[in-house]
Amino acid sequence: MNVILLGPPGSGKGTQSSYLVKKYKLNHISTGDILRTEISSGTKLGKQARKYMIEGNLVPDQLIIDMVSKKLKKFDSVLLDGFPRTLSQAVALDLEFSKLFMKINHVLYFDVPSDELIQRLSQRLSCRNCASTFIKSEKIVCNSKPSCKEPELYQREDDKPDAISIRMKNYTDLTAPLLDFYNDKNLMKKIDANESINQVSNQIDKIMQI
């Protein structure tokens, strides 16, 4: 099974990914996590991507498409988190899937009101070790497996106010058109992602069992 998580920054795609990967035995491809690892490893791709990411802008399509295409060849069931984010990425994904005789089963759209998103992002801390995210004011309990003994928390550069506004605008201008693209293909399923983590997981389970 191949699933795409689509939704604005802060809509909970990463949080639900951890659940879905375990439950449905999917291979997680998070383009944001891959790029952050490339940056911390100091690779050429990391150096190219960094300037776009800290500003809150999208990394150029071709860099992302090449990066994801390499990953897709390794797996037969994937959870795509943060990809595609533009129409050209979506078209490139269709082409890549057809070459690999793979197909998209579900596109899950995480719907959250924009004021809630801004609140979530500005309160968010991320762990350098396992990429889990936490809310500033809450007790930190790492649920990743194996769990981090000492989560190393930081605020992402792109979770700061200026970058958040650019990311939201990019989402509206470049990513939101994908909703129609996948709706037209009858693949789009809308999730009310303003509910609790467990309620969102339950909504997804119902869809995955269809």
CB-nearer residue toward ligand AMP: 42 or 149: 42
Catalytic residue, chosen from 50, 71, 156, 190, is 156
Per the annotation, the verdict on 23 as an active-site residue is: no
**Residue entry with tokens 């650019």:** 166
Residue 98: alpha-carbon gap to chain centroid: 22
Q: Which residue is nearest to ligand AMP (CB)?
A: 32
Per the annotation, the verdict on 120 as an active-site residue is: no
106 binds ligand AMP (CB under 6 A): no
Q: Of residues 166-205, which lie at the interface with ligand AMP (CB under 6 A)?
A: 167
CB-nearer residue toward ligand AMP: 106 or 158: 158
- Rg from Cα positions in the chain: 16
Judged by CB under 6 A, the residue of 7, 8, 12, 82 near ligand AMP is: 82
Residues that bind ligand AMP (CB under 6 A): 9, 31-32, 35, 52-53, 56-59, 64, 82-83, 85, 89, 158, 167
Catalytic residues: 13, 85, 124, 156, 167
